[in-house]
Amino acid sequence: MTIPSSDAIAHYRETGYLELRNVVESTALQRLIATTDRLREAGRGLVAGTRHYDLEPGHSPDAPRIRRIASPTELDEVYVELAFGEVLGGIAAALIGGPVKFYHSKINFKLPHGGAEIGWHQDWSVFPHTNTNLVAISLPLNPSRRLNGCLRTIPGTHRQGPRSHWDGGRYLLNCNAQTTPEEVSRAVDSELDPGDIVAHHGLVVHGSAPNRSETMRTTWIIQYAAADAFAYTAPVIDSIHRNRMVHGEPSRFARVEAGSIELPPDFSAGYSGIYTLQDAPAAS
């Protein structure tokens, strides 16, 4: 099992995020990139989105605009091997501090020249669990830079508790209204290369800018949860692998943190995705 140093774990506890370099070895990384390219090419001919493929308006075979592949672990074994393996699974277990299970994963494509901005948000508030001990691991499959919309994190915000992702009775899937200019000024850009990772806590406020570059930004994101954290709501991205143990044994008990929980909408009939929700017109 890969274990971050005690200093790295302390940094994660303090800031809510952790960058690690050269985590995935070259052979596995190249296989992951090639498989992702193949899956993206397979979606070129779609005329509408599917359970796995989320398409931007204007998508066509000649100009494919795929912005997400959900649950890639169902589409190729390479994602299973890495998500449940000793390297990524070991990092998740070390940061969670005990037994850990898989919740979901997705591949996000931020398209050149305007690939969507992602507003400030907390993952836990989108899929609340009985406790907040969740960690997401983001692995870029091409260079992730400020210009192409790399992940931005506001350090320490995970220690301030949940923020509302509603505004005026409308669910926005962001907490922009509760994020101050001073906080934004402290945001850290995670500029990473393929094989690096950034892990972030379920309550840390994070987002990303639009892609203003010539190249697409491709990122595989895996969401893990502590074994004793159980979801209150329907999964936003379901998978046959949801709640499968990655490290340690399943928990017979749910650990419940005190406090009230503002729930997201009921996604049991389907989840349109952060892009659709954040771009929806305001209610009149």
Higher-confidence residue of 1 and 20: namely: 20
Residue 141 contacts residue 33 (beta carbons within 8 Å): yes
In the chain, which ranges are E strands?
17-20, 53-55, 66-70, 100-110, 118-121, 134-140, 151-153, 166-167, 170-171, 188-189, 197-201, 206-208, 217-226, 245-247
By C-alpha distance, which of 108, 107, 143, 140 is closest to 215? Answer: 143
Whether the per-residue pLDDT at 106 is higher than 60: the answer is yes
Note the pLDDT of residue 218.
Answer: 97
pLDDT in tens, 22-63: 999 999 999 999 999 999 999 999 999 999 999 998 899 998
User: Where residue 124 falls among pLDDT bands split at 50, 70, 90?
Assistant: very high
By C-alpha distance, which of 16, 14, 4, 37 is closest to 151? Answer: 16
Find the largest Cα–Cα distance for the chain.
53
Measured distance between the N- and C-terminal CA atoms of the chain, rounded to whole angstroms: 53
Note the pLDDT of residue 272.
Answer: 54
Amino acid at 108: N
By C-alpha distance, which of 271, 185, 261 is closest to 230? Answer: 261
Percentage of the chain beyond pLDDT 90 is: 87
Cα separation, 102 vs 246, whole angstroms: 6
Query: What is the phi/psi pair of residue 200, to 5°?
Result: -140, 145
> What's the full length of the chain, in residues?
284
Whether the per-residue pLDDT at 282 is higher than 70: the answer is no
User: C-alpha angle with apex 229: 226 to 233, nearest 5 degrees?
Assistant: 130
Whether the per-residue pLDDT at 213 is higher than 70: the answer is yes
Structure tokens at 226: 């502590």
Whether the per-residue pLDDT at 131 is higher than 50: the answer is yes
CA distances from 153 to 158, 203, 207 (A): 10, 11, 7
Whether the per-residue pLDDT at 274 is higher than 60: the answer is no
